[in-house]
């Protein structure tokens, strides 16, 4: 079956004008350009874009016209400013950029919009922007946080024990999905074995910016290299695989298509 042209950047202006009249679903993939571990490409936005393309293809083949907007490669600044070559946007800048992107589409009647988020540092900003739009126009723009959804799927794909041992920054789910979608970009020979128990400020690390004080979580301002050595957090990347990545991707696409269908239903 011939693949449909789903990337808006590949449409001609005439094709875009014709499509707008039909109010298709537009997916906006967001990612980041940061440390994802010594074995992974810094541009994890590539994965968000690749998943978006597969969702759009599946949805379009199912009869739901769907396109992918150009991916926003730079995420909101959070814990990864330590990485040489990394590029992040301040939260205020990113908020302005996303607002302008969405308003550009809404102004022409494109109201079936879905954000496919690939970066934790974008979450609060996305809520602020979409909440503001909802208040002004009544248009609800859902955000589908790809890697959070994938993390909830992991125990069903690979079992609870493996999911727990391999889950974390620089490991699952991104490494497995990368092994499946972008195998040419993954460098398995650079995988490292780390002490998965990390400490910062004299306390056990719970997560980025969070430490444990006698069983109580405390937030402290730390850069990610204090809690994720060489970009690898608590998960063991040696447990990642292309096979698990393929199954995770398939489920993400399945749920993504379901969200497209729901957006169409609610916007009708």
Examine the pLDDT at 224 and tell me if it is beyond 90: no
* pLDDT value of position 206: 85
Phi/psi of residue 47, each to 5°? Answer: -70, -40
- Could you report the per-residue pLDDT of 237-259, keeping only the tens digit for each? 999 999 999 999 999 999 999 99
Examine the pLDDT at 63 and tell me if it is beyond 90: yes
CA within 13 Å, CB half, 87: 9
Nearest Cα to 249, choosing from 33, 37, 14, 57?
57
- Could you report the per-residue pLDDT of 178-218, keeping only the tens digit for each? 999 999 999 999 987 666 677 889 998 888 889 999 999 99
Calculate the CA 125 to chain-centre distance.
14
Domain architecture of the chain: domains with CATH: 8-149+245-267 (3.40.50.10310), 160-243 (no CATH)
DSSP 111-128: --EEEEE--GGGHHHHHH
* pLDDT value of position 194: 67
Residue 194 vs residue 153, higher pLDDT:
153
Q: What is the mean pLDDT of the chain?
A: 94
* pLDDT value of position 48: 98
* pLDDT value of position 73: 97
Calculate the CA 203 to chain-centre distance.
30
Q: Which class for 21: exposed (0-12), middle (13-18), buried (19 or more C-beta within 10 A)?
A: exposed
Query: Is 100 within 8 Å of 11 (Cβ atoms)?
Result: no
Query: Is 139 within 8 Å of 203 (Cβ atoms)?
Result: no
* pLDDT value of position 81: 87
- Could you report the per-residue pLDDT of 16-30, keeping only the tens digit for each? 999 999 999 999 999
Query: Is 81 within 8 Å of 223 (Cβ atoms)?
Result: yes
- Could you report the per-residue pLDDT of 88-137, keeping only the tens digit for each? 999 999 999 999 999 999 999 999 999 999 999 999 999 999 999 999 99
Give every CB contact of residue 211 below 8 A, 6+ residues apart in sequence.
199, 200, 201, 203, 204, 205, 217, 218, 220
| Cβ atoms within 10 Å of 156's Cβ, excluding its own | 12
Nearest Cα to 34, choosing from 91, 88, 93?
88
Sign of CA dihedral 227, 232, 237, 243: positive
* pLDDT value of position 209: 86
Q: DSSP letter at 53?
A: H
């Amino acid at each position: 079956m011939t693949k449909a042209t789903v990337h808006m950047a590949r449409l001609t202006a005439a094709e875009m004008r014709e499509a707008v009249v039909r109010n298709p679903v537009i997916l906006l993939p967001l990612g980041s350009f940061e440390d994802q571990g010594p074995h992974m490409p810094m541009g994890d936005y590539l994965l968000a874009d690749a998943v978006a393309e597969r969702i759009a293809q599946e949805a379009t083949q199912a009869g739901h016209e769907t396109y992918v907007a150009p991916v926003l490669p730079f995420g909101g600044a959070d814990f990864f400013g330590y990485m040489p070559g990394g590029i992040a946007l301040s939260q205020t800048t990113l908020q302005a950029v996303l607002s302008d992107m969405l308003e550009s589409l809404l102004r022409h009647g494109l109201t079936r919009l879905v954000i496919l988020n690939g970066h934790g540092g974008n979450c609060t900003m996305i809520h602020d922007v979409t909440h503001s739009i909802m208040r002004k126009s009544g248009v609800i723009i859902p955000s589908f946080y790809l890697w959070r959804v994938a993390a909830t799927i992991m125990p069903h794909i690979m079992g609870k024990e493996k999911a727990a041992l391999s889950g974390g920054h620089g490991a699952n789910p991104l490494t497995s999905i990368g092994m499946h979608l972008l195998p040419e970009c993954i460098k398995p020979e650079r995988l490292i074995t780390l002490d998965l128990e990390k400490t910062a400020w004299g306390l056990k690390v719970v997560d980025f910016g969070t430490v444990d004080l006698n069983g109580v979580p405390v937030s402290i301002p730390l850069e990610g290299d204090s809690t994720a050595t060489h970009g690898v957090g608590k998960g063991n990347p040696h447990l990642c695989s292309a096979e698990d990545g393929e199954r995770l991707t398939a489920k993400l696409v399945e749920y993504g298509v379901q969200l497209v269908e729901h957006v169409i239903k609610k916007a009708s």
